[in-house]
Amino acid sequence: MTDLNAVALEALRINGFTPEFSDAARAELRGMHPATAGAGVRDLRELPWSSIDNTESRDLDQVEVAEELPDGSIRVRVGIADVDALVAKGSAIDAHAMANATSVYTGVAVYPMLPEELSTGLTSLNQGEERVVLVIDLLVSTDGTVTKHDVYRALVVNRAKLAYETVGPWLEGRGPIPPLVASTPDIEAQVWLQDRAASLLKGFRERAGALEFDTVEATAVGKDGKVEAITVTRKNRARDLIEDFMIGANVAIAQYLGEQGRSAIRRVVRVPRRWNRIVDIAATFGVALPAEPDPRALSAFLATRRAADPLRFPDLSLSIVKLLGPGEYSLDLPGTADDEGHFGLAAHDYSHATAPNRRYADLVTQRLVKAAIAAAPAPYSNDELAAIAKQCTDRENAANRVERVTRKAAAALLLAHRIGATFEAIVTGVNKDGTYVRLLSPPAEGRVVRGEQGMDVGERVRVKLVATDPARGFIDFEGAR
């Protein structure tokens, strides 16, 4: 029987990750304590902060609180873990974080960017514990525009560690109120107010042409290196709430650094190279998209299809996401001459700043912001930022490969007894390396090794399972008539 932990470790090493921390990094942990509030740190412990994340998440990067103002606008504060307060630039822990640049989540195990003593302990915004955070303060008007933003450090306490899996169904009227929401003073009203603020932010972005998807995330569930199942995660209202807040916070951070005349790392999703294929897919539904990439037109098409066929909308979402292509990090100089936007979010200013426990780009951005707040020199040169952006893009792509191999190894184990069976699938990739599909059920991914001629991204096809190799994460299909 294939051990998924062994598969994940091998994939990590093949893709250039260092799973173990050095003795020097371990030595730095000794004697560490949570950061304490110093000069310039506001005391906001009395506010009813809460977090929403996956049930199993322990590396909590952000907390949120909202306040309704007399004119109907909503003040949203997002608190981000001040990881830089404990992880010094140039330290052994920082060197490890830069080398890997991201935490890797394989389903069977988490390989953290930072030692767990930090990411799930000293810098995690755990319930009931005082933590120093970087607050991104947004004023959301009644039409969803952010009319004002500010950034500062503060001392906070997370009153309630909530979970997507229970808050989402409750907000949607499909489940009971989560016990922690019901039992914690002020939190029920807080979550509803946050939900309203998130809806305002989302509405503004959608009118600007932001793309809203409903993709299915398949995750291997394992124990002691053995696969137990493949679970499917779908978006819900709680996930949307946090996503909308994080987008607002990341836009505000990019704008803040620009206003301060500071270089930064920008998150970019370029204009899709395969727009013609997106046009072809829309045409099959009787919709004529413009010949040139147009996020507003694509957003309207997606909204129409979501309303018309919500059951199959995740399949369409997957096709469009694959054709949009991956995001990447790039150096952002002061001014607008080098600005490239985020096509999917219809945003010209976008950073990654809200997950410094998990992503190195976010930790670097945090250092840039803190230097700007203190009117101190920038901690990185432009050449250093360009190199870090390239490293973060490379490591993100590598992490995706590791997670995909582990997920496919788990699926190969589950499908091993079904050789010869035929499945409905959707084509997810066609390139020089081959043609790839994802089964509709179970949501397993594999390569079409025979009979793939004529297949293109977004098509629904029938395929027959011809081979599995769990040790290498291979699942092979042939086209079936």
pLDDT of residue 221: 62
295 close to 212: Cβ distance less than 8 angstroms: no
Average pLDDT over residues 54-64: 93
* Predicted confidence (pLDDT) per residue in 295-346, tens digit: 889 888 998 998 888 877 887 888 888 888 788 999 999 876 555 666 666 6
What CA–CA distance (Å, rounded) separates 11 from 16?
9
- Same domain, yes or no: 394 and 297: no
- 3-state class (DSSP) for residue 72: coil
- Listed ranges 55-59, 284-288, 358-362, 413-417; the one with the highest mean pLDDT: 358-362
Q: What percent of the chain has pLDDT over 70?
A: 93
pLDDT in the model for residue 336:
63
CA angle 241, 355, 40 (to 5 degrees): 100
Structure token digits, residue 211: 């793309």
- Assess contact for 328 and 268: CB atoms under 8 A: yes
Q: Are both 448 and 392 inside the same structural domain?
A: no
Q: What pLDDT was estimated at residue 229?
A: 62
Residues 33 and 120 in one domain: yes
For residues 81-97, average pLDDT:
97
Instruction: Tell me: do 378 and 446 sit in the same domain.
Output: no
CATH classification of the domain holding 472: 2.40.50.140
What residues have CB less than 8 Å from 243, skipping those under 6 apart? none
Give the contacts of 393 (CB within 8 A, at least 6 positions apart): 328, 329
Structural domain boundaries enclosing 316 = 275-325
Residue 61 lies in a domain: yes
pLDDT, residue 475, reads 93
Residue at 320 is within a domain:
yes
- Are 343 and 355 members of one domain? yes
Higher local confidence (pLDDT), 209 or 392 = 392
Query: In sequence order, what are the residues at sequence separation of 6 or more whose Cβ sits closer than 8 angstroms to the Cβ of residue 249?
Result: 62, 78, 80, 136, 138, 353, 354
- Domain endpoint, select from 358, 379, 408: 408
Residue 47 · residue 77 · CB < 8 Å: yes
Q: What is the mean pLDDT of residues 395-423?
A: 90
Q: Is 405 within 8 Å of 11 (Cβ atoms)?
A: yes
Provide the token pair at 214: 């409903």
Task: Say if residue 45 is in the same domain as residue 131.
Answer: yes
Domain membership of residue 413 (yes or no) is no
Of how many residues is the chain composed? 481
> Two tokens at 91?
């330290």
Domain-located, residue 194:
yes
Q: Are residues 232 and 297 in the same domain?
A: no
Res 296: pLDDT: 86
- How wide is the angle at C-alpha 126 spanned by C-alphas 124 and 127, nearest 5°? 165
Do 182 and 303 belong together in one domain?
no
Last residue of a domain, one of 325, 342, 358: 325
Report the range of poorest mean pLDDT among 56-65, 385-394, 464-473.
464-473
In contact, 457 and 280? CB cutoff 8 Å: no
pLDDT of residue 377: 97
Tally of structural domains, the chain: 3
471 found inside a domain: yes
Residue 77 pLDDT class (50, 70, 90 cuts): very high
Q: What is the pLDDT of residue 207?
A: 83
pLDDT on residue 398: 96
Of 257, 291, 325, the residue that ends a domain is: 325
187 and 284 both lie in a single domain: no
Examine the domain organization and report whether 258 and 302 are in the same domain.
Answer: no
Are 14 and 69 within one domain? yes
Decide if 163 is inside a domain. Answer: yes
- Strand pairing of 146-163 and 217-223? unpaired
* H helices, E strands: number in the chain: 13, 17
| 24 and 114 part of one domain | yes
The answer to the question of residue 453 being in a domain is: yes
> pLDDT tens, 195-236?
999 999 999 988 877 777 776 666 666 566 566 666 667 789
What percentage of residues in the chain have a pLDDT greater than 90? Answer: 65
The whole-angstrom distance between residue 8's C-alpha and the CA centroid of its chain comes to 20
Q: What angle do CA 79, 80, 82 make, to 5 degrees?
A: 120
Residue 414 domain-assigned (yes or no): no
Q: What is the mean pLDDT of residues 49-74?
A: 95
